Amino acid sequence: MMELHEAITKRHAVRDFLPDPIPRPVADKLIRAASAAPSSMNEQPWTFYCCEGETRVRLGHLIAQTTVHLSEYMEVLGAKRYEDAVQWYSSLGDAPLLIAITCLKPDSEFTAMNRYLSLGAALENLLLSATAGGLAACNITFAYWVRGDMATLLGVPEEQEIAMIVAVGYPTDVPPAAPPRRAETAVWLD
């Protein structure tokens, strides 16, 4: 198990995975790490839907519909990045595990902020745990217009919403190289 600060500096989005399945105890460890995140008023607003096998394939097909509207952004992305995006959404990097993270639907802007911050903390715990355990992951941005279909597939209750999807697997590039980070990100004031 790698040290925390090493996991922080090595963690980054990986988009190419080996097809090897994630053993259930390893996946359970990721979920326990995510569930240990702080949340506003200890609400723990999250539920983790872990998708393997046929459910993973069906969820992947729904997420792949995201590329239908990517052509609108071709000028912004450029031809190469557009092709890369279409390929990524079509296969999700062959990740053997997709984790849909849901939260209770917020009823106010204040509640939304607290719940989404809580989900962000849970997500980062999951990502760091994956990195520390030799796995890789990618938080997936998807078209929200397929969120209802995804909720139906996964049996998400009406009072919850899908906030994010995470692709998890063993990286094909070991160790994966983290991209450079900006050096100056803090403003110090006296």
pLDDT band at 170 (very low <50, low <70, confident <90, very high): very high
pLDDT digits (tens, 9 = 90+) for 101-149: 999 999 999 999 999 999 999 999 999 999 999 999 999 877 778 889 9
34 near 122, Cβ under 8 Å?
yes
Question: For 19, phi and psi rounded to 5 degrees?
Answer: -75, -5
pLDDT digits (tens, 9 = 90+) for 11-37: 777 888 999 999 999 999 999 999 999
186 near 156, Cβ under 8 Å?
no
pLDDT surpasses 80 at 84: no
pLDDT surpasses 90 at 81: no
Q: What CATH architecture is 4-169?
A: 3-Layer(aba) Sandwich (3.40)
- Where in the chain are the domains? 4-169
Q: Which residues pair with 169 in a beta bridge?
A: 136
pLDDT band at 168 (very low <50, low <70, confident <90, very high): very high
pLDDT band at 10 (very low <50, low <70, confident <90, very high): confident
Name the more confident of 183 and 38: 38
Range in 80-84, 111-115, 162-166 the model is least confident about: 80-84
pLDDT band at 72 (very low <50, low <70, confident <90, very high): low
Q: Tell me, rounded to whole angstroms, the distance of Cα 180 from its chain centroid.
A: 21
Question: Which tokens sit at 136?
Answer: 């890789």
Rounded to two decimals, what is the model's pTM?
Answer: 0.88
pLDDT of residue 3: 83
Question: For 98, phi and psi rounded to 5 degrees?
Answer: -115, 130
pLDDT of residue 2: 72
Cβ-based neighbour number of residue 151 at 10 Å: 18
46 near 84, Cβ under 8 Å?
no
